[in-house]
Amino acid sequence: MKACASFKKTLMSQTSAFFFNQTLFFVILAKGINMKVLITGSNGLLGQHLIPLFLQDSRYEVIATGRGANRLPKQAGYLYEPVNLRESSSVNQLLQKHQPDIVIHAAAMTQVDDCERNKDACWDCNVNATRYLIQAAEKTKSFFIFLSTDFVFDGLQGPYAEEDAVNPLSYYGATKVAAERLVHNSHLAWSIVRTVLVYGVAADPKRSNIITWVKTNLEQGKKLKVVDDQWRTPTLVQDLAAGCKLVADKKAGGIFHISGGETLTPYQMAVQTAGYFQLNSQLLEKVDAKTFTQPAKRPARTGFVIDKAVQELGYQPHSFEEGLQIVAKEI
């Protein structure tokens, strides 16, 4: 009888442990399926590609944020919250309401010359907004992904790896360096994703990119002066979105350079674009950057070494020729 009682007690103990472990497993599984990702700048080019990418993954619940109305073509399957990121209280309320597991901060003032002309607005958008998001994310313990730029570098020794020293030439670049430091010095788990010359098709017809700019003008028989003394590793927006999602999936910490793998000048990109669409490349004039008078100074040679992203994230960008094909189907 004692043996039977002992066996019964052991069996009950094992059964309880089994159900406890199963319950724990399903709780963990459920949490994995319901990860909340909050994306700022959702009306921008990157945001428009990030949202559908995350919606394809059943593990994620998406909260999109932007200033003003939702301008995305697809408006189902996620929640949109209009917010002014330059207001600390609004940002704090937003994160307290949704308690996101991951924040992807893609919103920014990115027009380099506008930033040079309107420095207060640029600082407010790129630095203060980041500060408010960090402060709010520290309360919700969100994993924080910050989008940055190759313009944090001076362009003297590109292409650049993640550990290379920053030295911005423009005010835009300076605000991104300041924001990066806020992220780095925060009490968050974080990742900084830097990128280069992003191209792709946005829902807003007013938004252009080098491919559509070249195609439209050459189709109209217009001559174009295109810079040939600035080197970049141009980035297809779908590749950047995929890179950001890889960082989110792995919650990979640190700095990652996410860009294309080919170093090209804008002129070389324009020539390839003309060739792909069978347009007259003789209308393209090769010029130096000094041809144009611009408020903000551009780095001469940036571009990225992407070995870290390839090895640690499994990132695989398209070639520029492949990117042309993808963009052509969306125009």
pLDDT digits (tens, 9 = 90+) for 167-199: 999 999 999 999 999 999 999 999 999 999 999
pLDDT digits (tens, 9 = 90+) for 300-312: 999 999 999 999 9
- Give me the chain's average pLDDT, please: 91
Confidence of residue 21 (pLDDT cuts 50, 70, 90): very low
Burial 257-267 (b: 16+ CB within 10 A, else e): bbbbbbbbbbb
pLDDT digits (tens, 9 = 90+) for 110-147: 999 999 999 999 999 999 999 999 999 999 999 999 99
From residue 267, how far is each of 139, 154, 305 by CA, in Å?
Answer: 47, 21, 21
- Spatial distance between the Cα atoms of 81 and 252, rounded to a whole number of angstroms: 27
Tell me: pLDDT of 3 over 50. no
Average pLDDT over residues 215-235: 97
- pTM of the predicted model, to two decimals? 0.89
Peptide bond preceding 234: is omega within 30 degrees of 0, i.e. cis?
Answer: no
The full set of domain ranges for the chain reads 27-202+234-261+303-318
Average pLDDT over residues 159-168: 98
Q: In percent, how much of the chain has pLDDT > 70?
A: 89
Tell me: pLDDT of 31 over 70. no
pLDDT, position 24 = 37
Average pLDDT over residues 251-271: 98
Q: What are phi and psi of 287, to 5 degrees?
A: -135, 165
Tell me: pLDDT of 14 over 60. no
Burial 113-144 (b: 16+ CB within 10 A, else e): eebbeeeeebbebbbbbbbbbbbbbeebebbb
Count, residues in the chain: 331
Q: In percent, how much of the chain has pLDDT > 90?
A: 85
pLDDT, position 207 = 74
pLDDT, position 237 = 98
Tell me: pLDDT of 323 over 90. yes
Arch. (CATH architecture) of 27-202+234-261+303-318: 3-Layer(aba) Sandwich (3.40)
Tell me: pLDDT of 33 over 70. no
